[in-house]
Amino acid sequence: MNLARFFQLEGKKVIITGASKGIGKEIALQLAGLGADLALTARDERELDAVKKQIETYGGNAEIFPFDLMNTEKIPDLVKSIHQEFGQIDVLINNAGINITKPAAEINEVDWDKVIDLNMKSAFFISQAVGKYMIAQKQGKIINMSSQMALVGYYNRAPYCSSKGGVSQMTKALAIEWASHQVNVNAIAPTFIETPMTAPMFEDEEFRKEVLSRIPLGRLAKTEDLMGAILYLASDSSNMVTGQTLAVDGGWTVW
Protein backbone atom coordinates (compact mmCIF):
# COMPACT_ATOMS: atom_id res chain seq x y z
CA MET A 1 0.00 0.00 0.00
CA ASN A 2 1.32 3.42 -1.01
CA LEU A 3 0.67 5.46 2.14
CA ALA A 4 2.09 8.64 0.57
CA ARG A 5 -1.01 9.01 -1.59
CA PHE A 6 -3.14 9.55 1.51
CA PHE A 7 -1.31 12.82 2.19
CA GLN A 8 -1.32 14.06 -1.39
CA LEU A 9 -2.47 17.64 -2.06
CA GLU A 10 -0.99 18.03 -5.53
CA GLY A 11 -3.51 19.84 -7.73
CA LYS A 12 -6.10 20.27 -4.99
CA LYS A 13 -8.04 23.53 -5.21
CA VAL A 14 -7.92 25.20 -1.79
CA ILE A 15 -9.55 28.38 -0.47
CA ILE A 16 -7.84 30.03 2.51
CA THR A 17 -9.51 32.96 4.27
CA GLY A 18 -7.47 35.47 6.22
CA ALA A 19 -4.55 34.55 3.97
CA SER A 20 -2.71 37.88 3.85
CA LYS A 21 -0.73 37.53 7.08
CA GLY A 22 -0.01 35.47 10.16
CA ILE A 23 -1.28 31.91 10.31
CA GLY A 24 -3.22 32.18 7.05
CA LYS A 25 -0.15 33.28 5.15
CA GLU A 26 1.96 30.46 6.60
CA ILE A 27 -0.71 27.89 5.74
CA ALA A 28 -0.76 29.23 2.18
CA LEU A 29 3.01 28.99 1.80
CA GLN A 30 3.10 25.45 3.15
CA LEU A 31 0.20 24.14 1.04
CA ALA A 32 1.61 25.79 -2.08
CA GLY A 33 4.82 23.88 -1.41
CA LEU A 34 2.77 20.67 -1.41
CA GLY A 35 1.39 21.44 -4.86
CA ALA A 36 -2.05 22.81 -3.99
CA ASP A 37 -3.62 25.51 -6.16
CA LEU A 38 -4.68 28.31 -3.85
CA ALA A 39 -7.44 30.90 -3.77
CA LEU A 40 -6.35 33.45 -1.22
CA THR A 41 -8.83 35.88 0.29
CA ALA A 42 -8.49 38.71 2.81
CA ARG A 43 -9.33 42.41 2.89
CA ASP A 44 -5.89 43.84 2.01
CA GLU A 45 -5.16 43.40 -1.70
CA ARG A 46 -1.57 44.64 -1.39
CA GLU A 47 -0.71 42.10 1.30
CA LEU A 48 -2.45 39.32 -0.60
CA ASP A 49 -0.50 40.17 -3.73
CA ALA A 50 2.76 39.98 -1.75
CA VAL A 51 1.83 36.46 -0.59
CA LYS A 52 0.95 35.46 -4.16
CA LYS A 53 4.31 36.71 -5.43
CA GLN A 54 6.16 34.84 -2.69
CA ILE A 55 4.33 31.63 -3.60
CA GLU A 56 5.09 32.09 -7.30
CA THR A 57 8.77 32.68 -6.53
CA TYR A 58 8.89 29.08 -5.30
CA GLY A 59 6.95 27.74 -8.26
CA GLY A 60 3.55 27.58 -6.57
CA ASN A 61 0.18 28.63 -7.93
CA ALA A 62 -2.11 31.15 -6.21
CA GLU A 63 -4.81 33.62 -7.19
CA ILE A 64 -6.02 36.42 -4.95
CA PHE A 65 -9.59 37.47 -4.21
CA PRO A 66 -9.63 40.61 -2.02
CA PHE A 67 -12.82 40.53 0.02
CA ASP A 68 -14.30 41.57 3.36
CA LEU A 69 -16.05 38.54 4.84
CA MET A 70 -18.25 40.80 6.93
CA ASN A 71 -20.04 41.48 3.62
CA THR A 72 -21.90 38.18 3.95
CA GLU A 73 -24.50 38.83 1.26
CA LYS A 74 -21.71 38.98 -1.34
CA ILE A 75 -20.00 35.75 -0.25
CA PRO A 76 -21.83 33.61 -2.86
CA ASP A 77 -20.45 35.91 -5.59
CA LEU A 78 -16.93 35.51 -4.18
CA VAL A 79 -17.21 31.73 -4.15
CA LYS A 80 -18.70 31.69 -7.64
CA SER A 81 -15.69 33.68 -8.91
CA ILE A 82 -13.29 31.25 -7.27
CA HIS A 83 -15.13 28.25 -8.70
CA GLN A 84 -15.10 29.78 -12.18
CA GLU A 85 -11.33 30.36 -11.88
CA PHE A 86 -10.41 26.88 -10.62
CA GLY A 87 -13.20 24.65 -11.92
CA GLN A 88 -13.78 23.03 -8.55
CA ILE A 89 -13.17 23.56 -4.84
CA ASP A 90 -11.64 20.69 -2.90
CA VAL A 91 -10.77 22.32 0.42
CA LEU A 92 -11.95 25.37 2.35
CA ILE A 93 -9.86 26.58 5.29
CA ASN A 94 -11.81 29.07 7.40
CA ASN A 95 -8.90 30.87 9.03
CA ALA A 96 -10.07 34.50 9.21
CA GLY A 97 -10.73 35.64 12.76
CA ILE A 98 -10.42 38.37 15.36
CA ASN A 99 -10.16 38.70 19.12
CA ILE A 100 -11.05 41.64 21.36
CA THR A 101 -9.56 41.19 24.83
CA LYS A 102 -11.57 42.97 27.51
CA PRO A 103 -13.14 41.95 30.80
CA ALA A 104 -16.66 40.64 30.22
CA ALA A 105 -18.11 43.56 32.16
CA GLU A 106 -16.59 45.99 29.64
CA ILE A 107 -17.65 44.30 26.41
CA ASN A 108 -20.13 46.36 24.41
CA GLU A 109 -22.45 45.30 21.61
CA VAL A 110 -20.09 46.51 18.89
CA ASP A 111 -17.26 44.39 20.33
CA TRP A 112 -19.53 41.36 20.61
CA ASP A 113 -20.91 41.63 17.08
CA LYS A 114 -17.50 42.20 15.50
CA VAL A 115 -16.04 39.02 17.00
CA ILE A 116 -19.10 36.82 16.49
CA ASP A 117 -19.72 38.07 12.95
CA LEU A 118 -16.21 37.45 11.66
CA ASN A 119 -15.30 34.32 13.62
CA MET A 120 -18.57 32.44 13.31
CA LYS A 121 -21.12 34.11 11.04
CA SER A 122 -18.77 34.62 8.09
CA ALA A 123 -17.37 31.08 8.49
CA PHE A 124 -20.89 29.69 8.26
CA PHE A 125 -21.88 31.63 5.16
CA ILE A 126 -18.71 30.89 3.20
CA SER A 127 -19.05 27.23 4.22
CA GLN A 128 -22.64 27.32 2.99
CA ALA A 129 -21.61 28.83 -0.36
CA VAL A 130 -18.68 26.44 -0.83
CA GLY A 131 -20.72 23.51 0.46
CA LYS A 132 -23.14 23.80 -2.45
CA TYR A 133 -20.31 23.14 -4.90
CA MET A 134 -18.86 20.35 -2.78
CA ILE A 135 -22.26 18.66 -2.50
CA ALA A 136 -22.67 18.84 -6.29
CA GLN A 137 -19.25 17.27 -6.87
CA LYS A 138 -19.78 14.68 -4.09
CA GLN A 139 -16.55 15.46 -2.24
CA GLY A 140 -14.84 18.18 -0.25
CA LYS A 141 -13.04 19.10 2.96
CA ILE A 142 -13.91 22.07 5.17
CA ILE A 143 -11.48 22.95 7.96
CA ASN A 144 -12.60 25.52 10.51
CA MET A 145 -10.04 27.30 12.67
CA SER A 146 -11.51 26.97 16.13
CA SER A 147 -9.48 27.35 19.34
CA GLN A 148 -8.78 25.66 22.62
CA MET A 149 -11.02 28.46 23.92
CA ALA A 150 -13.91 26.53 22.36
CA LEU A 151 -13.20 23.83 24.94
CA VAL A 152 -12.21 25.86 28.02
CA GLY A 153 -12.88 29.33 29.36
CA TYR A 154 -10.29 32.04 29.83
CA TYR A 155 -10.00 35.58 31.13
CA ASN A 156 -10.98 38.62 29.03
CA ARG A 157 -12.20 36.56 26.09
CA ALA A 158 -15.97 36.13 26.49
CA PRO A 159 -16.87 36.93 22.84
CA TYR A 160 -13.90 34.94 21.50
CA CYS A 161 -14.66 31.85 23.60
CA SER A 162 -18.30 32.09 22.58
CA SER A 163 -17.48 32.44 18.88
CA LYS A 164 -15.05 29.54 18.84
CA GLY A 165 -17.42 27.34 20.82
CA GLY A 166 -19.98 28.16 18.16
CA VAL A 167 -17.51 27.26 15.41
CA SER A 168 -16.93 23.81 16.92
CA GLN A 169 -20.67 23.18 17.24
CA MET A 170 -21.25 24.50 13.72
CA THR A 171 -18.61 22.03 12.56
CA LYS A 172 -20.65 19.16 14.02
CA ALA A 173 -23.91 20.41 12.53
CA LEU A 174 -22.50 20.78 9.01
CA ALA A 175 -20.71 17.44 9.26
CA ILE A 176 -24.00 15.70 10.03
CA GLU A 177 -25.90 17.40 7.22
CA TRP A 178 -23.29 16.92 4.54
CA ALA A 179 -21.84 13.51 5.39
CA SER A 180 -24.07 11.73 2.89
CA HIS A 181 -22.48 13.90 0.17
CA GLN A 182 -18.94 12.90 1.23
CA VAL A 183 -18.18 16.40 2.48
CA ASN A 184 -15.99 16.24 5.59
CA VAL A 185 -16.22 19.15 8.04
CA ASN A 186 -13.68 19.35 10.87
CA ALA A 187 -12.00 21.96 13.04
CA ILE A 188 -8.59 22.61 14.55
CA ALA A 189 -8.31 24.04 18.07
CA PRO A 190 -4.86 25.57 18.62
CA THR A 191 -3.43 26.91 21.83
CA PHE A 192 -1.68 30.30 21.94
CA ILE A 193 0.58 30.58 18.90
CA GLU A 194 3.83 32.50 18.88
CA THR A 195 3.81 34.85 15.88
CA PRO A 196 4.99 38.42 15.23
CA MET A 197 1.38 39.50 15.76
CA THR A 198 1.10 37.89 19.21
CA ALA A 199 4.64 38.78 20.33
CA PRO A 200 3.60 42.06 22.04
CA MET A 201 1.08 40.15 24.17
CA PHE A 202 3.79 37.85 25.48
CA GLU A 203 6.06 40.73 26.44
CA ASP A 204 4.00 40.69 29.64
CA GLU A 205 6.12 38.16 31.52
CA GLU A 206 3.41 37.36 34.08
CA PHE A 207 0.91 36.60 31.31
CA ARG A 208 3.47 34.44 29.51
CA LYS A 209 4.20 32.47 32.68
CA GLU A 210 0.49 32.00 33.38
CA VAL A 211 -0.16 30.67 29.88
CA LEU A 212 2.86 28.34 29.94
CA SER A 213 1.76 26.97 33.31
CA ARG A 214 -1.35 25.60 31.57
CA ILE A 215 0.49 23.86 28.69
CA PRO A 216 1.95 20.50 29.78
CA LEU A 217 4.41 20.48 26.86
CA GLY A 218 5.85 23.68 28.32
CA ARG A 219 5.94 25.96 25.28
CA LEU A 220 3.78 28.10 23.06
CA ALA A 221 2.75 26.68 19.70
CA LYS A 222 4.44 27.74 16.49
CA THR A 223 2.62 28.07 13.19
CA GLU A 224 4.33 24.96 11.87
CA ASP A 225 2.78 22.95 14.70
CA LEU A 226 -0.58 23.32 12.93
CA MET A 227 0.58 21.99 9.58
CA GLY A 228 0.31 18.30 10.40
CA ALA A 229 -3.31 18.73 11.46
CA ILE A 230 -4.12 20.80 8.39
CA LEU A 231 -2.48 18.30 6.02
CA TYR A 232 -4.29 15.44 7.74
CA LEU A 233 -7.72 17.07 7.56
CA ALA A 234 -7.23 18.38 4.01
CA SER A 235 -5.99 15.11 2.52
CA ASP A 236 -7.47 11.67 1.89
CA SER A 237 -5.95 10.41 5.13
CA SER A 238 -8.95 11.85 6.99
CA ASN A 239 -11.70 10.59 4.67
CA MET A 240 -13.39 8.76 7.56
CA VAL A 241 -13.13 11.72 9.96
CA THR A 242 -15.87 14.32 10.22
CA GLY A 243 -17.43 16.57 12.84
CA GLN A 244 -14.30 16.59 15.00
CA THR A 245 -12.38 19.40 16.67
CA LEU A 246 -8.72 18.42 16.83
CA ALA A 247 -6.92 20.15 19.71
CA VAL A 248 -3.36 21.25 18.91
CA ASP A 249 -2.82 22.68 22.35
CA GLY A 250 0.21 21.06 23.95
CA GLY A 251 -2.13 19.34 26.43
CA TRP A 252 -3.92 22.44 27.78
CA THR A 253 -7.38 20.83 27.50
CA VAL A 254 -6.20 17.55 29.05
CA TRP A 255 -6.33 19.08 32.55
Catalytic residues: 160
CB atoms within 10 A of CB 98: 14
C-alpha to C-alpha distances, 187 to 81, 110, 202, 203, nearest whole angstrom:
25, 26, 26, 29
First to last CA, the chain: 38
> Vertex 17, ends 16 and 18: CA angle to 5°?
120
Q: Do residues 161 and 180 make contact, with C-beta atoms less than 8 angstroms apart?
A: no
Distance CA 179, CA 32 (A): 28
Largest distance between two CA atoms of the chain: 57
Distance CA 39, CA 52 (A): 10
SS3 for 6-26, per residue? HHCCCCCEEEEECCCCHHHHH
Q: H helices of the chain, where?
A: 22-33, 45-57, 75-86, 109-116, 122-137, 158-178, 205-212, 227-234
